[in-house]
Chains A and B, each alone.
Chain A
Amino acid sequence: MSADLPEMPDDDDDLMAGEYVLRLLSPDIERAMDRRVIDDPVFAARVRDWEARLAPMADELEDIPPAAQTRRALLTTLGGAPASTTRRWWLGTGLGLATLAALVVISPIPSLLQGPEFGAQIASTDGTLRFDATVTGDELVLARLEGGPRPGRALELWLIADGAPAPVSLGVLPETDSARIALSPDLVAQLTGAALAVSDEPPGGSPTGAPTGEVLAAAALIAL
Protein backbone atom coordinates (compact mmCIF):
# COMPACT_ATOMS: atom_id res chain seq x y z
CA MET A 1 0.00 0.00 0.00
CA SER A 2 2.11 2.81 -1.25
CA ALA A 3 -0.58 5.44 -1.37
CA ASP A 4 0.73 8.94 -1.24
CA LEU A 5 0.07 11.02 1.76
CA PRO A 6 -3.18 12.79 1.06
CA GLU A 7 -4.87 15.90 2.39
CA MET A 8 -3.97 17.60 5.65
CA PRO A 9 -0.34 16.61 6.06
CA ASP A 10 -0.17 17.94 9.62
CA ASP A 11 -2.86 15.45 10.49
CA ASP A 12 -1.09 12.63 8.83
CA ASP A 13 0.64 11.19 11.83
CA ASP A 14 -2.56 10.80 13.78
CA LEU A 15 -4.32 9.15 10.85
CA MET A 16 -1.34 6.87 10.43
CA ALA A 17 -1.78 5.88 14.07
CA GLY A 18 -5.45 5.16 13.33
CA GLU A 19 -4.56 3.02 10.33
CA TYR A 20 -1.97 1.25 12.44
CA VAL A 21 -4.56 0.42 15.07
CA LEU A 22 -6.98 -0.77 12.39
CA ARG A 23 -4.15 -2.99 11.06
CA LEU A 24 -4.47 -1.48 7.60
CA LEU A 25 -0.81 -0.74 7.01
CA SER A 26 1.41 -2.95 4.92
CA PRO A 27 3.61 -5.35 6.88
CA ASP A 28 6.75 -3.28 6.38
CA ILE A 29 5.19 -0.08 7.57
CA GLU A 30 3.45 -1.90 10.38
CA ARG A 31 6.80 -3.21 11.61
CA ALA A 32 8.24 0.27 11.50
CA MET A 33 5.28 1.55 13.50
CA ASP A 34 5.74 -1.23 16.06
CA ARG A 35 9.13 0.23 16.75
CA ARG A 36 7.81 3.78 16.79
CA VAL A 37 5.28 2.91 19.44
CA ILE A 38 8.16 1.87 21.66
CA ASP A 39 10.41 4.80 20.86
CA ASP A 40 8.02 7.68 20.37
CA PRO A 41 5.71 8.51 23.28
CA VAL A 42 3.68 11.00 21.25
CA PHE A 43 2.92 8.43 18.59
CA ALA A 44 2.26 5.82 21.28
CA ALA A 45 -0.30 8.13 22.87
CA ARG A 46 -2.02 8.59 19.50
CA VAL A 47 -2.17 4.83 19.12
CA ARG A 48 -3.69 4.41 22.57
CA ASP A 49 -6.27 7.07 21.82
CA TRP A 50 -7.35 5.26 18.67
CA GLU A 51 -7.49 1.94 20.48
CA ALA A 52 -9.75 3.50 23.09
CA ARG A 53 -11.94 5.21 20.50
CA LEU A 54 -12.44 2.11 18.39
CA ALA A 55 -12.65 -0.70 20.95
CA PRO A 56 -16.29 0.05 21.88
CA MET A 57 -17.21 -1.15 18.39
CA ALA A 58 -16.84 -4.63 19.84
CA ASP A 59 -20.02 -3.95 21.79
CA GLU A 60 -21.82 -4.46 18.49
CA LEU A 61 -20.83 -8.12 18.63
CA GLU A 62 -23.03 -10.62 20.39
CA ASP A 63 -21.09 -12.52 23.07
CA ILE A 64 -20.28 -16.12 22.20
CA PRO A 65 -19.92 -18.42 25.21
CA PRO A 66 -16.78 -20.51 24.67
CA ALA A 67 -16.86 -24.31 24.84
CA ALA A 68 -16.19 -25.77 28.29
CA GLN A 69 -13.24 -27.58 26.74
CA THR A 70 -11.51 -24.25 26.01
CA ARG A 71 -11.64 -23.22 29.66
CA ARG A 72 -10.35 -26.59 30.82
CA ALA A 73 -7.51 -26.59 28.34
CA LEU A 74 -6.51 -23.09 29.31
CA LEU A 75 -6.45 -23.71 33.03
CA THR A 76 -4.63 -26.99 32.50
CA THR A 77 -2.02 -25.19 30.45
CA LEU A 78 -1.44 -22.86 33.36
CA GLY A 79 -0.31 -25.88 35.33
CA GLY A 80 -3.18 -26.60 37.62
CA ALA A 81 -6.10 -28.92 37.59
CA PRO A 82 -9.13 -27.72 35.73
CA ALA A 83 -11.69 -26.08 37.90
CA SER A 84 -14.97 -27.15 36.46
CA THR A 85 -16.89 -26.81 33.27
CA THR A 86 -18.54 -23.57 32.35
CA ARG A 87 -18.79 -22.08 35.75
CA ARG A 88 -19.95 -18.54 35.46
CA TRP A 89 -18.42 -15.89 37.56
CA TRP A 90 -21.51 -14.15 38.62
CA LEU A 91 -22.09 -11.50 41.11
CA GLY A 92 -25.24 -10.17 42.30
CA THR A 93 -27.40 -8.22 44.45
CA GLY A 94 -30.93 -9.25 43.92
CA LEU A 95 -29.93 -12.67 42.76
CA GLY A 96 -32.33 -14.97 44.48
CA LEU A 97 -30.92 -17.94 46.28
CA ALA A 98 -33.02 -20.16 44.09
CA THR A 99 -31.20 -18.71 41.12
CA LEU A 100 -27.95 -19.33 42.91
CA ALA A 101 -28.75 -22.92 43.50
CA ALA A 102 -29.92 -23.34 39.93
CA LEU A 103 -26.70 -21.87 38.64
CA VAL A 104 -24.40 -24.08 40.60
CA VAL A 105 -26.25 -27.24 39.84
CA ILE A 106 -25.02 -27.00 36.26
CA SER A 107 -21.56 -28.34 36.86
CA PRO A 108 -20.75 -31.99 37.09
CA ILE A 109 -17.22 -31.90 38.34
CA PRO A 110 -14.40 -33.74 36.69
CA SER A 111 -12.42 -35.40 39.40
CA LEU A 112 -9.60 -33.33 40.64
CA LEU A 113 -6.49 -33.00 42.21
CA GLN A 114 -4.42 -33.57 45.19
CA GLY A 115 -5.01 -31.14 48.05
CA PRO A 116 -8.26 -29.51 47.09
CA GLU A 117 -8.31 -25.82 47.40
CA PHE A 118 -11.06 -23.42 46.54
CA GLY A 119 -11.31 -19.71 46.03
CA ALA A 120 -14.04 -17.20 45.48
CA GLN A 121 -14.19 -13.49 45.05
CA ILE A 122 -17.45 -12.38 46.46
CA ALA A 123 -18.50 -8.91 45.42
CA SER A 124 -21.61 -6.85 45.17
CA THR A 125 -22.45 -5.55 41.70
CA ASP A 126 -21.44 -2.01 42.56
CA GLY A 127 -18.16 -3.23 44.07
CA THR A 128 -18.81 -1.54 47.42
CA LEU A 129 -18.75 -4.86 49.23
CA ARG A 130 -15.96 -7.29 48.39
CA PHE A 131 -14.53 -10.37 50.01
CA ASP A 132 -11.88 -12.82 49.06
CA ALA A 133 -12.49 -16.37 50.26
CA THR A 134 -10.13 -19.32 50.19
CA VAL A 135 -10.57 -22.79 51.54
CA THR A 136 -7.62 -24.86 52.61
CA GLY A 137 -8.43 -28.18 54.14
CA ASP A 138 -11.28 -27.57 56.54
CA GLU A 139 -10.60 -23.91 57.05
CA LEU A 140 -12.31 -21.10 55.18
CA VAL A 141 -10.56 -17.76 55.34
CA LEU A 142 -12.62 -14.74 54.44
CA ALA A 143 -10.85 -11.44 53.91
CA ARG A 144 -12.94 -8.31 53.74
CA LEU A 145 -11.55 -6.05 51.02
CA GLU A 146 -14.25 -3.45 50.80
CA GLY A 147 -17.38 -2.37 52.64
CA GLY A 148 -19.18 -3.66 55.69
CA PRO A 149 -22.63 -4.13 57.18
CA ARG A 150 -25.28 -1.48 56.90
CA PRO A 151 -25.76 0.62 60.05
CA GLY A 152 -27.47 -1.44 62.74
CA ARG A 153 -27.30 -4.58 60.60
CA ALA A 154 -25.03 -7.60 60.28
CA LEU A 155 -23.54 -9.60 57.43
CA GLU A 156 -24.00 -13.34 57.35
CA LEU A 157 -22.11 -15.83 55.21
CA TRP A 158 -23.86 -18.77 53.55
CA LEU A 159 -22.73 -21.86 51.77
CA ILE A 160 -24.99 -23.10 49.02
CA ALA A 161 -23.92 -26.62 48.17
CA ASP A 162 -24.46 -28.14 44.77
CA GLY A 163 -28.00 -29.48 44.74
CA ALA A 164 -28.61 -28.60 48.37
CA PRO A 165 -32.18 -27.72 49.26
CA ALA A 166 -31.18 -24.70 51.35
CA PRO A 167 -28.19 -22.55 52.17
CA VAL A 168 -26.22 -23.38 55.29
CA SER A 169 -25.14 -20.53 57.54
CA LEU A 170 -21.40 -20.22 58.06
CA GLY A 171 -21.99 -17.57 60.66
CA VAL A 172 -22.28 -13.84 61.17
CA LEU A 173 -19.19 -12.01 59.99
CA PRO A 174 -17.13 -10.28 62.65
CA GLU A 175 -16.19 -6.62 62.40
CA THR A 176 -12.60 -7.58 61.74
CA ASP A 177 -11.06 -7.56 58.29
CA SER A 178 -10.69 -11.28 58.17
CA ALA A 179 -12.44 -14.29 59.58
CA ARG A 180 -11.40 -17.91 59.88
CA ILE A 181 -14.21 -20.37 59.78
CA ALA A 182 -13.80 -24.05 60.54
CA LEU A 183 -15.88 -26.24 58.26
CA SER A 184 -17.34 -29.52 59.41
CA PRO A 185 -16.26 -32.57 57.40
CA ASP A 186 -19.79 -32.71 56.12
CA LEU A 187 -19.49 -29.21 54.65
CA VAL A 188 -15.99 -29.79 53.29
CA ALA A 189 -17.40 -32.68 51.32
CA GLN A 190 -19.91 -30.34 49.71
CA LEU A 191 -17.58 -27.58 48.52
CA THR A 192 -17.21 -28.75 44.96
CA GLY A 193 -19.77 -26.94 42.90
CA ALA A 194 -20.88 -24.82 45.83
CA ALA A 195 -21.34 -21.08 46.05
CA LEU A 196 -20.87 -18.55 48.82
CA ALA A 197 -23.23 -15.70 49.50
CA VAL A 198 -23.38 -12.81 51.91
CA SER A 199 -26.72 -11.51 53.10
CA ASP A 200 -27.94 -8.51 55.02
CA GLU A 201 -29.37 -9.63 58.37
CA PRO A 202 -30.43 -8.25 61.74
CA PRO A 203 -27.75 -8.03 64.45
CA GLY A 204 -26.85 -11.52 65.59
CA GLY A 205 -27.78 -13.00 62.26
CA SER A 206 -30.82 -14.53 60.67
CA PRO A 207 -33.36 -15.58 63.28
CA THR A 208 -34.75 -18.29 61.05
CA GLY A 209 -31.65 -20.20 59.95
CA ALA A 210 -32.27 -19.12 56.37
CA PRO A 211 -31.36 -15.79 54.78
CA THR A 212 -34.01 -13.22 55.62
CA GLY A 213 -32.45 -10.11 54.12
CA GLU A 214 -31.12 -9.09 50.74
CA VAL A 215 -28.36 -11.20 49.22
CA LEU A 216 -25.71 -8.54 48.79
CA ALA A 217 -22.99 -10.53 47.11
CA ALA A 218 -22.37 -14.06 45.93
CA ALA A 219 -19.90 -16.10 43.97
CA ALA A 220 -19.24 -19.64 42.92
CA LEU A 221 -16.39 -21.40 44.66
CA ILE A 222 -13.76 -22.08 42.07
CA ALA A 223 -11.61 -25.16 42.41
CA LEU A 224 -7.95 -24.25 42.05
Chain B
Amino acid sequence: MTTRGDIETLIARTALRDRTAFAALYDATSGKLLAVCHSVLKDRQEAEDTLQEVFLRVWNKADRYAVTGHSPMTWLITVARNIAIDRLRARQKAQTGKVGSETDVLPDTRPGPEAATIAASESRRIVACLRELPGDRANAVRGAYLEGKSYSDLAARFDVPLNTMRTWLRRSLQSLRECMSR
Protein backbone atom coordinates (compact mmCIF):
# COMPACT_ATOMS: atom_id res chain seq x y z
CA MET B 1 0.00 0.00 0.00
CA THR B 2 1.09 3.48 -0.78
CA THR B 3 0.11 6.03 1.81
CA ARG B 4 -1.48 9.39 1.26
CA GLY B 5 1.81 11.03 2.17
CA ASP B 6 3.66 8.95 -0.42
CA ILE B 7 1.25 9.96 -3.15
CA GLU B 8 1.42 13.59 -2.12
CA THR B 9 5.20 13.45 -2.32
CA LEU B 10 5.05 11.83 -5.74
CA ILE B 11 2.71 14.54 -7.04
CA ALA B 12 4.96 17.26 -5.64
CA ARG B 13 7.98 15.68 -7.33
CA THR B 14 6.06 15.21 -10.55
CA ALA B 15 5.47 18.95 -10.52
CA LEU B 16 9.26 19.30 -10.53
CA ARG B 17 9.43 17.13 -13.65
CA ASP B 18 10.76 14.10 -11.81
CA ARG B 19 10.04 11.18 -14.12
CA THR B 20 10.86 8.57 -11.52
CA ALA B 21 8.24 10.04 -9.24
CA PHE B 22 5.76 10.26 -12.10
CA ALA B 23 6.30 6.62 -13.06
CA ALA B 24 5.90 5.64 -9.43
CA LEU B 25 2.74 7.74 -9.16
CA TYR B 26 1.40 5.94 -12.20
CA ASP B 27 2.22 2.55 -10.72
CA ALA B 28 0.57 3.41 -7.44
CA THR B 29 -2.65 4.94 -8.76
CA SER B 30 -3.31 3.84 -12.35
CA GLY B 31 -5.33 0.78 -11.29
CA LYS B 32 -7.87 2.90 -9.46
CA LEU B 33 -7.96 5.60 -12.13
CA LEU B 34 -8.44 3.07 -14.92
CA ALA B 35 -11.34 1.66 -12.93
CA VAL B 36 -12.84 5.16 -12.74
CA CYS B 37 -12.44 5.68 -16.51
CA HIS B 38 -13.81 2.25 -17.30
CA SER B 39 -16.81 2.71 -15.05
CA VAL B 40 -17.78 5.77 -17.07
CA LEU B 41 -16.81 4.61 -20.55
CA LYS B 42 -17.54 0.86 -20.37
CA ASP B 43 -14.94 0.25 -23.04
CA ARG B 44 -11.54 -1.07 -22.08
CA GLN B 45 -9.52 0.39 -24.93
CA GLU B 46 -11.14 3.79 -24.69
CA ALA B 47 -10.59 3.72 -20.95
CA GLU B 48 -6.88 2.97 -21.43
CA ASP B 49 -6.59 5.81 -23.94
CA THR B 50 -8.34 8.08 -21.50
CA LEU B 51 -6.00 6.98 -18.74
CA GLN B 52 -3.06 8.24 -20.79
CA GLU B 53 -4.77 11.56 -21.21
CA VAL B 54 -5.44 11.66 -17.48
CA PHE B 55 -1.78 11.13 -16.64
CA LEU B 56 -0.64 13.67 -19.20
CA ARG B 57 -2.95 16.12 -17.49
CA VAL B 58 -1.50 15.12 -14.14
CA TRP B 59 2.04 15.60 -15.50
CA ASN B 60 1.16 19.04 -16.78
CA LYS B 61 -0.97 20.19 -13.88
CA ALA B 62 0.77 18.59 -10.92
CA ASP B 63 1.85 22.03 -9.76
CA ARG B 64 -1.81 22.98 -9.43
CA TYR B 65 -2.61 20.12 -7.13
CA ALA B 66 -1.69 21.90 -3.91
CA VAL B 67 -4.05 24.80 -4.46
CA THR B 68 -7.06 22.52 -4.67
CA GLY B 69 -6.56 21.56 -1.05
CA HIS B 70 -7.77 18.08 -1.93
CA SER B 71 -6.42 14.82 -0.71
CA PRO B 72 -4.26 13.36 -3.48
CA MET B 73 -6.70 10.60 -4.40
CA THR B 74 -9.64 13.01 -4.45
CA TRP B 75 -7.74 15.16 -6.90
CA LEU B 76 -6.66 12.29 -9.11
CA ILE B 77 -10.10 10.68 -9.14
CA THR B 78 -11.72 14.04 -9.92
CA VAL B 79 -9.34 14.64 -12.82
CA ALA B 80 -9.85 11.12 -14.19
CA ARG B 81 -13.60 11.17 -13.84
CA ASN B 82 -13.99 14.56 -15.51
CA ILE B 83 -11.83 13.60 -18.47
CA ALA B 84 -13.69 10.30 -18.83
CA ILE B 85 -17.04 12.08 -18.77
CA ASP B 86 -15.79 14.57 -21.35
CA ARG B 87 -14.99 11.60 -23.57
CA LEU B 88 -18.33 9.99 -22.91
CA ARG B 89 -20.21 13.18 -23.79
CA ALA B 90 -18.13 13.66 -26.91
CA ARG B 91 -18.85 10.09 -27.98
CA GLN B 92 -22.57 10.52 -27.33
CA LYS B 93 -22.57 13.73 -29.28
CA ALA B 94 -20.83 12.10 -32.20
CA GLN B 95 -23.30 9.24 -32.14
CA THR B 96 -26.53 11.14 -31.70
CA GLY B 97 -25.70 14.71 -32.54
CA LYS B 98 -27.17 15.50 -29.17
CA VAL B 99 -25.93 17.36 -26.17
CA GLY B 100 -22.26 17.05 -25.60
CA SER B 101 -20.26 19.08 -23.25
CA GLU B 102 -17.13 21.10 -23.14
CA THR B 103 -13.92 19.21 -23.32
CA ASP B 104 -12.11 21.29 -20.78
CA VAL B 105 -14.46 21.26 -17.91
CA LEU B 106 -12.27 20.63 -14.96
CA PRO B 107 -11.43 24.03 -13.61
CA ASP B 108 -7.80 23.94 -12.66
CA THR B 109 -7.67 27.36 -11.21
CA ARG B 110 -9.62 26.81 -8.07
CA PRO B 111 -8.34 29.07 -5.39
CA GLY B 112 -8.37 28.54 -1.70
CA PRO B 113 -7.76 25.99 1.01
CA GLU B 114 -10.09 23.53 2.71
CA ALA B 115 -11.32 20.08 1.86
CA ALA B 116 -11.37 16.54 3.01
CA THR B 117 -9.27 13.47 2.45
CA ILE B 118 -10.05 10.03 1.28
CA ALA B 119 -9.11 8.33 4.44
CA ALA B 120 -10.64 4.95 5.00
CA SER B 121 -13.03 6.53 7.46
CA GLU B 122 -14.15 9.06 4.88
CA SER B 123 -14.80 6.36 2.38
CA ARG B 124 -16.82 4.35 4.85
CA ARG B 125 -18.72 7.50 5.68
CA ILE B 126 -20.12 8.06 2.22
CA VAL B 127 -20.82 4.37 1.85
CA ALA B 128 -22.73 4.42 5.13
CA CYS B 129 -24.58 7.59 4.13
CA LEU B 130 -25.54 6.15 0.75
CA ARG B 131 -26.94 3.21 2.62
CA GLU B 132 -29.28 5.52 4.49
CA LEU B 133 -30.90 6.55 1.21
CA PRO B 134 -33.66 4.50 -0.37
CA GLY B 135 -31.94 1.96 -2.65
CA ASP B 136 -32.94 3.46 -5.98
CA ARG B 137 -31.93 6.96 -4.86
CA ALA B 138 -28.50 5.74 -3.84
CA ASN B 139 -28.15 3.96 -7.16
CA ALA B 140 -29.08 7.13 -9.00
CA VAL B 141 -26.27 8.96 -7.22
CA ARG B 142 -23.90 6.11 -8.08
CA GLY B 143 -25.04 6.21 -11.71
CA ALA B 144 -24.30 9.92 -11.86
CA TYR B 145 -20.95 9.80 -10.10
CA LEU B 146 -19.49 6.49 -11.14
CA GLU B 147 -20.98 6.18 -14.62
CA GLY B 148 -21.40 9.81 -15.62
CA LYS B 149 -25.09 9.39 -16.34
CA SER B 150 -27.13 12.46 -17.18
CA TYR B 151 -30.54 13.32 -15.73
CA SER B 152 -32.22 11.97 -18.83
CA ASP B 153 -30.20 8.72 -18.71
CA LEU B 154 -31.16 8.28 -15.08
CA ALA B 155 -34.80 9.16 -15.66
CA ALA B 156 -34.92 6.48 -18.33
CA ARG B 157 -33.08 3.94 -16.23
CA PHE B 158 -35.37 4.37 -13.24
CA ASP B 159 -38.43 5.04 -15.36
CA VAL B 160 -39.42 8.33 -13.75
CA PRO B 161 -40.01 11.77 -15.28
CA LEU B 162 -36.98 14.02 -15.64
CA ASN B 163 -38.10 16.47 -13.01
CA THR B 164 -38.73 13.68 -10.56
CA MET B 165 -35.19 12.46 -11.12
CA ARG B 166 -33.83 15.92 -10.53
CA THR B 167 -35.78 16.15 -7.29
CA TRP B 168 -34.46 12.73 -6.23
CA LEU B 169 -30.91 13.71 -6.89
CA ARG B 170 -31.06 17.04 -5.17
CA ARG B 171 -32.79 15.56 -2.12
CA SER B 172 -30.18 12.81 -2.07
CA LEU B 173 -27.41 15.39 -2.16
CA GLN B 174 -29.01 17.20 0.75
CA SER B 175 -29.27 13.97 2.73
CA LEU B 176 -25.69 12.99 1.96
CA ARG B 177 -24.37 16.36 2.95
CA GLU B 178 -26.31 16.26 6.18
CA CYS B 179 -25.29 12.68 6.93
CA MET B 180 -21.61 13.32 6.22
CA SER B 181 -21.49 16.41 8.42
CA ARG B 182 -22.70 14.47 11.47
A residues with CB within 8 A of B? 1, 3, 6, 8, 11, 14-15, 18-19, 22-24, 26-27, 30-31, 34, 37-38, 41, 44-45, 47-67, 69-71, 73-75, 77-78, 80, 83, 87-89, 91, 119-121, 123, 125-127, 130, 134, 219, 222, 224
> Contact between A80 and B19 (Cβ–Cβ < 8 Å)?
yes
Residues in B with CB closer than 8 Å to A18 are 170, 173, 177
Known: A24-B150, A74-B52, A77-B56. A63 touches B21 (CB 8 A): no
Chain B residue at minimal CB-CB distance from A75: B23
Interface size on B (CB < 8 Å)? 86
> Contact between A87 and B27 (Cβ–Cβ < 8 Å)?
yes
Known: A38-B109, A73-B52. A23 touches B102 (CB 8 A): no
Bound complex: CA A53 to CA B20 (Å): 31
A161 to chain B, nearest CB (A): 19
Bound complex: CA A56 to CA B74 (Å): 7
Bound complex: CA A91 to CA B28 (Å): 10
B137 within 8 A of A: no
Known: A22-B145, A55-B118. A121 touches B31 (CB 8 A): no
B26 to chain A, nearest CB (A): 6
Residues in A with CB closer than 8 Å to B144 are 22-24
Provide the main secondary structure of the chain B interface.
helix
B160 within 8 A of A: no
A100 to chain B, nearest CB (A): 15
Known: A48-B69, A58-B77. A63 touches B166 (CB 8 A): no
Bound complex: CA A67 to CA B26 (Å): 12
> Contact between A62 and B5 (Cβ–Cβ < 8 Å)?
no
B134 within 8 A of A: no
Most chain A beta-carbon neighbours within 10 Å: one of B24, B59, B74: B24
> Contact between A89 and B2 (Cβ–Cβ < 8 Å)?
yes
> Contact between B22 and A27 (Cβ–Cβ < 8 Å)?
no
Bound complex: CA A121 to CA B24 (Å): 8
Bound complex: CA A45 to CA B169 (Å): 21
A219 to chain B, nearest CB (A): 8
Residues in A with CB closer than 8 Å to B5 are 127
B70 within 8 A of A: yes
With beta carbons under 8 angstroms apart, the residue of B34, B47, B111 that contacts A41 is B111
With beta carbons under 8 angstroms apart, the residue of A30, A48, A57, A222 that contacts B145 is A57
Sorted from nearest, which 3 A-B pairs have the closest CB atoms? A119-B20, A63-B31, A89-B27
> Contact between A3 and B162 (Cβ–Cβ < 8 Å)?
yes
Bound complex: CA A62 to CA B38 (Å): 10
Chain A residue at minimal CB-CB distance from B171: A7
B42 to chain A, nearest CB (A): 12
Bound complex: CA A34 to CA B17 (Å): 28
B114 within 8 A of A: yes
| Chain B positions 70 through 113: 1 when the CB is less than 8 Å from some CB of chain A, otherwise 0 | 11011001100110010000000000000111100101011110
Residues in B with CB closer than 8 Å to A67 are 48
Residues in B with CB closer than 8 Å to A1 are 151-152, 162, 166
Known: A48-B110, A55-B73, A60-B146. A91 touches B2 (CB 8 A): yes
Bound complex: CA A107 to CA B149 (Å): 39
> Contact between B101 and A49 (Cβ–Cβ < 8 Å)?
no
> Contact between A53 and B32 (Cβ–Cβ < 8 Å)?
no
Chain A residue at minimal CB-CB distance from B21: A121
B37 to chain A, nearest CB (A): 9
Known: A53-B177, A57-B146, A66-B48. A30 touches B105 (CB 8 A): yes
With beta carbons under 8 angstroms apart, the residue of B2, B3, B22, B115 that contacts A52 is B115
